[in-house]
């Protein structure tokens, strides 16, 4: 999943670069206007975080949209009825080339499956979550950025 190379650039000291598989994330909004969020333990930070569904693009030939759709279903049991690209970002450009593709989606009214083991699905009103992002209360960057990028956009059809 990762590879570390020591790279040399003109007029620069050697630099360790972590090459990481890209990822896709989706901000799912229900027909009621709630955001679907997943709570899961993140070993690297030793905490349970509340986030939007996301995952690595680690299936050969899978594009970002397909990955985001797959992760939405796997992590929440919901499918999207409409989905749209929001933007993206480099996760931590100081040491890794990982890029995260962001989408937002209008979901079905009810789930069609169960969430993955170890994931708790919760909902919050979209406006409440945007307020939390603006106030700096969301600790997960993909979730905060997706909320801020989606705010003020026309509703998904």
The candidate with the shortest Cα–Cα distance to 76, out of 52, 48, 57, 56, is: 52
Q: What is the CATH number of the domain that holds 123?
A: 3.90.79.10
The candidate with the shortest Cα–Cα distance to 124, out of 115, 112, 133, is: 133
Tell me if 157 is assigned to some domain: no
Tell me if 129 is assigned to some domain: yes
Tell me if 29 is assigned to some domain: yes
Q: Which domain holds residue 102?
A: 19-150
Strands 54-56 and 23-29: antiparallel
What pLDDT does 135 receive? 97
> Which pLDDT tens digits describe the chain residue by residue (157 residues)?
778 878 888 999 998 887 789 999 999 999 999 999 999 999 999 999 999 999 999 999 999 999 999 999 999 999 999 999 999 999 998 888 899 999 999 999 999 999 999 999 999 999 999 999 999 999 999 999 999 999 988 776 5
Tell me if 61 is assigned to some domain: yes
Token output for 115: 């969430």
């Amino acid at each position: 999943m990762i590879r570390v190379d020591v790279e040399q650039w003109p007029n620069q000291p050697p630099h360790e670069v972590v090459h990481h598989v890209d990822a896709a994330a989706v901000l799912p909004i229900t027909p009621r206007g709630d955001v679907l969020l997943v709570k899961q333990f993140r070993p690297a930070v030793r905490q349970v975080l509340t986030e939007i569904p996301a995952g690595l693009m680690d299936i050969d030939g899978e594009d970002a949209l397909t990955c985001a759709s797959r992760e939405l279903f796997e992590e929440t049991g919901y499918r999207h009825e409409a989905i749209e690209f929001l933007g993206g970002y480099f996760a931590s450009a100081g040491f890794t080339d990982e890029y995260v593709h962001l989408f937002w989606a209008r979901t079905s009214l009810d789930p069609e499956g169960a969430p993955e083991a170890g994931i708790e699905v919760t909902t919050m009103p979209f406006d409440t979550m945007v307020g939390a992002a603006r106030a700096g209360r969301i600790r997960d960057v993909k979730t905060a950025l997706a909320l801020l990028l989606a705010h003020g956009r026309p509703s998904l059809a």
